[in-house]
Amino acid sequence: MNLTEKIARDIRVVLQTLEYPEVPIVIEIPPEPKLGDRSCTIALALAKPLKRKPRDIAETIAAALPQLENGYRVEIASPGFLNFFFSDEIYHALLKEALDIGAEYGSSQLGLGEKRLFEYVSANPTGPMNIVSARAAAIGDSLVKLQRKAGFDAYSEFYVNDTGKQVKLLGESVRARAAEVQGGIAEIPEGGYHGDYIIDLATAALAEMGDQVKVISDEELGRWSADKIMATQRTILQEYGVEFDRWYRESELYDAKMPQKTLEKLRSAGHIYEEDGATYFRSSDFGDDEDRVVVTSDGRPTYYLPDIAYHLDKAERGFKKAIDLLGPDHHGHGKRMQAAMRALALGDDFLEIIIVQQVNLMRAGIPVRMSKRAGEIVSMKELLDEVGADAAKQIFLSRRWSSHLDFDIEAAKDRSERSPVFYLQYAHARICSIFCKADGRAYNTDHLNRINTEEERNLLRSLSIFPDVVASAAMQYAPNRVNSYLNELATVFSQFYHHCRVITEDDGLTSARLAMCRAVQIVLKEGLRLLGMSAPEKM
């Protein structure tokens, strides 16, 4: 039962009966409980086409709605809002349902089982992951969970660029450091990697391969190093609580000759030409600013070709939509990929690009200067070790992905005792504690009529909103809405907690209030799960 849909259905029927023009029906949550449990602005939207006053239209619609028999009453507020107030019976039924289905509460079939693939992080295996990766990981992971809850068949992938020029450079850098470890001088190549982790890799390579390090090719050494880095990335992400359904290696594409096949496909469609010895894709025919090289004049494919192949493969594996989370430094890439998708006739809405904006790392208000060249970066691992996964995720997931956010390490740590994530977890732990204190007294729904304070009613209202929040967060890729909602729920619960004693001599009232607590516990736990955060039972 979805209360919002119920109202939308009733309004739709009324609009048809009255033969009003078809306009989208939008149901909202009023800004405060006094204004009702749900509201609709349909009368405002109909004012123009009907050439009548919004208030008159609202009254006509209200009169035609099956209010009492469907468990609500309607008030009209200026300039023409239809405000819906649910009956106690409706709320009690909803509470019973939530208790009955538990963690399934809030799930829906909006996605109709559509197969979707989320690709995120996809950090190059040439160095430590940075803070933007941590942000993307938190968002991507939550999006997949949200979309699954909303009925999509959603999956996650981490694409690994384990071939190409950068990997060769990685190999050269490691070789240089290996020479240094053995007492020589490190001659790190132009554009190579300087970080200390290269020394660690060199040491590990020497330990594992001995003098073989000197004779294998740059590519082989680079590939070996990339594998090590990739394994580390996987471990760090696991500790962060983010697991991928698949790590898809660029080299797998080559093994399956997919870049070549993709090139031929584009060529036979007439989108490929040669110039100055290089092979170009005519991407400007499909919205790109200029044509792009897909094979260089010395015969190497650029990153672009296998990436097109990868996306073609996503479509061929049956995904109806591919959603890529990209860093701000790759936003130019989006246009190119869209151009390729069009050239391959995959449709304009197959690929959706989400640019996860940058993170300005601060420490006590002072920007932390990050220089990749000098290897002076705060890695994702260092960040997580310092502030903790839950606190970091909370910061990332309380903002829209499009916001350029300031992440203050000291603030994240200093406030850790009173941080927003603790507020949510505390509410959950507090409920667990109540059930401990209840000492075997169970909740039940036989005495819900004992629920009648303002705080209790606000709590029911908040609980009823959860399915709407999940749906909108999933459809609009907005995990931050779940975070906002959970904060609101925790606040309303705290108010309830302070005004309504749960465990009393009154068995009927106790059982009803325990039922409320259980429902809040279910939603808090499920909400935290959707955000990838833990829900401790004790704090």
Partner RNA sequence: GCGCCCGUAGCUCAACGGAUAGAGCAUCGGCCUUCUAAGCCGAGGGUUCCGGGUUCGAGCCCCGGCGGGCGUACCA
Residues 263-282 that bind RNA (CB under 7 A): 276-278
Our CA dihedral for 327, 333, 337, 343, rounded to 10 degrees, sits at 170
- Those residues whose C-beta lies under 8 Å from the C-beta of residue 251, and which sit 6 or more positions away, are 162, 163, 223
Closer residue to RNA (CB): 379 or 419: 419
Supply 12's token pair: 């739709």
Under the criterion CB under 7 A, does residue 238 sit at the interface with RNA? no
Number of H helices, E strands in the chain: 20, 15
Please enumerate in sequence order all residues whose Cβ is within 8 A of that of 33, keeping only pairs 6 or more positions apart, or say none.
457, 458, 461
Q: Is 347 left (phi over 0), alpha (psi -120 to 50) or beta?
A: left
The footprint of RNA on residues 142-161 (CB under 7 A) is: 161
Q: How far is it, in rounded angstroms, from Cα 120 to Cα 356?
A: 10
Instruction: Indicate which single residue of 2, 260, 358, 445 sits in contact with RNA (rule: CB under 7 A).
Output: 358
> In terms of CB distance, is 16 or 433 closer to RNA?
433
3-state secondary structure of 514: helix
How far apart are the C-alpha atoms of 45 and 41, rounded to whole Å?
Answer: 7
Among 79, 102, 184, 270, binds RNA (CB under 7 A): 79
Question: Binding to RNA (CB under 7 A): which residues in 292-351?
Answer: 292-293, 296-298, 300, 302-304, 328-333, 335
Strands 278-281 and 272-275: antiparallel
163-171, 201-209, 217-225, 253-261 -> range binding RNA (CB under 7 A): 163-171
Residues 372-431 that bind RNA (CB under 7 A): 398-400, 402-406, 408, 411, 415, 417-418, 420, 422-423, 426, 429-430
Q: How far is the CB of 472 from RNA (least distance, A)?
A: 6
Rule CB under 7 A: which of 97-136 touch RNA? 124
Quick one: 110 or 411, whose CB is closer to RNA? 411
Residues 20-59 as x/- pattern, contact with RNA by CB under 7 A: ------x-x-xx---xx--x-x--xx-xx-----x-----
* Nearest distance in Å: CB 491, RNA: 5
Question: How many residues sit in the footprint of RNA (CB under 7 A)?
Answer: 91
Nearest C-alpha neighbor of 102 from the set 530, 522, 528, 533: 522
Burial of 131 from C-beta contacts in 10 A (0-12 / 13-18 / 19+): buried
Which 176-235 positions form the footprint of RNA (CB under 7 A)? none
Q: Which is nearer to RNA, 206 or 516 (CB)?
A: 516
The β-bridge partners of 27 are: 40
Nearer of residues 313 and 408 to RNA, judged by Cβ: 408
Give min distance, CB of 502 to RNA, in A: 4
* CB 208 to RNA: min, Å: 25
Minimum CB separation of residue 221 from RNA in Å reads 17
Task: Report the residue number, 236 or 354, with the smaller CB distance to RNA.
Answer: 354
Minimum CB–partner distance for residue 48 and RNA (Å) = 4
350 vs 477 by CB, closer to RNA: 477
Which one, 268 or 538, has the nearer CB to RNA? 538
**341, containing H or E segment:** helix 331-343
Terminal CA-CA length for the chain = 34
Mode of pairing for the β-strands spanning 115-119 and 321-326: parallel
